[in-house]
Structure 1
Amino acid sequence: METAIDKRYTLEGYLEMEYHAQTRHYFYDGKVAPMPYTSDSHGSIVANLIREIGVQVKKTNFRVYPSDRMLYVPECRLNYYPDVMVVKGEPVFHQHSKKMQATLNPYALIEVLSDSTEEDDRIDEWQCYRKIAYLQQYFMVAQDRVYIDFYNRIDETRWENSYVDRMDQELEIAGFRVKVEDIYLNVALGKPEQRADQ
């Protein structure tokens, strides 16, 4: 997570600030930090995932959202902006205010790992995400090499962990088949992470 802003916030104070902010922020334990800019590889992977899943969800009861869709986890009292969120059926919302709402019912969440967020994605966010009763799948996608770590829900408290690490493999995301080579299309692998603000 990027450098935190010194002031401490309540959840309500954070939401008021976030509603008027020009950029998005993380909120954790009363602290607010700006979300980091993403690398070209990160952006390409997210765009590829949205495209590949988006084409397949047409005329189904699934929807796919990019990272500007806020997720709220009541069990943790935390908001997140996952890179990709897939919802089954009608979205269920937590109404923060008249103009600000967050999704409550993700079926699948996908995070593209970066140097600045990998520890949060693997530990803190995952500990919170797995408390979401609606959630069935969680994916963590490396951007510097072909590697996708993922969890599938078995029951209320158990998850099965697996991974893919070859271009010729496929993933099943919310029941839709996605080729690994399509996820990494036009992504320069093996290069150090170069963020858009550098």
Structure 2
Amino acid sequence: MIAAKENFPTLTPEEYFTWEEQQLEKHELINGQVYAMSGGSKNHSLLAARFITLCTNHLEESGCDTATSDLRVNIVGTNNYTYPDASVTCDVRDKTTTQHITYPCLIVEVLSTSTEAYDRGSKFRMYRQNPALIDYLLVSSTSIEIDLYHKNNAGDWLIINYKAGDTIELKSINLNFPIEQVYRGLTLEPKTPTDIIRE
């Protein structure tokens, strides 16, 4: 996500849906303001696609739906809408909506330098308002590292850090897989201070 459009009027969800249909790029709606979504790297795109494929294949005929970054998620109890890199909903209430889902049990965000603080901070705080959310997965695109924010049965959020050699456990959809399965064949280049400055 990048800065809100300057001097842009506050939009209702209905105005936002109509306006965005005419745009060439996606925008999140937060507190009535629209924020353009920045493009990702090749690894970002490949990792998101692999998670979508993995979840889709695993959930075939389960009644759950796996969505790409083209599907909005409505933040429960608000008029805010985001575009996660991947999401899974098994909630029947999401069967009745056409513009968005509201009750995903799993959300995946592939990290980039420009969005990592937002994904770990205020975006996660918004997502936590969803009582159906169980797993929030933050995926590095520069190294074999995945952080899982998992809500346990007591309602507490635990952070599990996965690295090379580990097996990821997503209890939200009853799926286990080796971390290397989604990183296979990728050229991983840790960011240098120069790269961060350029972004």
Shorter chain as denominator, the TM-score bin is 0.7 to 0.9
One-letter identity of the residue aligned with 1:3: A
Deviation at 1:105, TM superposition (A): 1.5
Aligned to 2:100: 102
One-letter identity of the residue aligned with 1:9: T
After the TM superposition, which residues 121-136 of structure 1 pair with which residues of structure 2 at under 5 Å, given as runs?
Answer: 121-136=119-134
Aligned with 1:70 (options 62, 69, 72): 72
Query: Is contact 1:146–1:184 with CA below 8 Å preserved after alignment?
Result: yes
Aligned to 2:168: 171
Q: Which consecutive unaligned segments of at least 5 residues does structure 1 have? A: none
Tell me the distance in 1 between the aligned counterparts of 2:33 and 2:62: 39
Between the two structures, name the one with larger relative contact order (CA 8 Å, sep ≥ 6).
1
Aligned to 1:161: 159
Query: Is contact 2:91–2:104 with CA below 8 Å preserved after alignment?
Result: no
Q: 144-153 vs 55-64, which deviates more?
A: 55-64
Deviation at 1:186, TM superposition (A): 2.5
Deviation at 1:80, TM superposition (A): 0.8
Q: 1:108 to 1:69 in 2, by over 3 A?
A: same
Query: Is contact 1:107–1:136 with CA below 8 Å preserved after alignment?
Result: yes
SS of match in other structure, 2:81: strand
Alignment of 1:16 with 2:57, yes or no, is no
After the TM superposition, which residues 8-157 of structure 1 pair with which residues of structure 2 at under 5 Å, given as runs?
Answer: 8-12=9-13, 13-90=15-92, 92=94, 95=97, 101-155=99-153, 157=155
Aligned to 1:5: 5
C-alpha root-mean-square deviation of aligned residues, in Å? 2.2
Deviations 1:93-130 (A, max 9, x none): 675xxxx5210110100100011211111001100111
Aligned to 2:187: 188
Deviations 1:55-97 (A, max 9, x none): 21112232211111111013242101111101125451675xx
Deviations 1:141-187 (A, max 9, x none): 01111111111112474212111011x22112221122211111232
Tell me the distance in 2 between the aligned counterparts of 1:139 and 1:146: 13
Identity of aligned residues (%): 22
Deviations 1:15-41 (A, max 9, x none): 321132221112223322211111001
One-letter identity of the residue aligned with 1:82: P
Tell me the distance in 1 between the aligned counterparts of 2:95 and 2:64: 16
- TM (normalized to structure 1)? 0.86
Q: Which consecutive unaligned segments of at least 5 residues does structure 2 have? A: none
Q: 1:35 to 1:59 in 2, by over 3 A?
A: same
Structure 1's consecutive aligned runs of 4 or more residues displaced over 6 angstroms after TM superposition are none
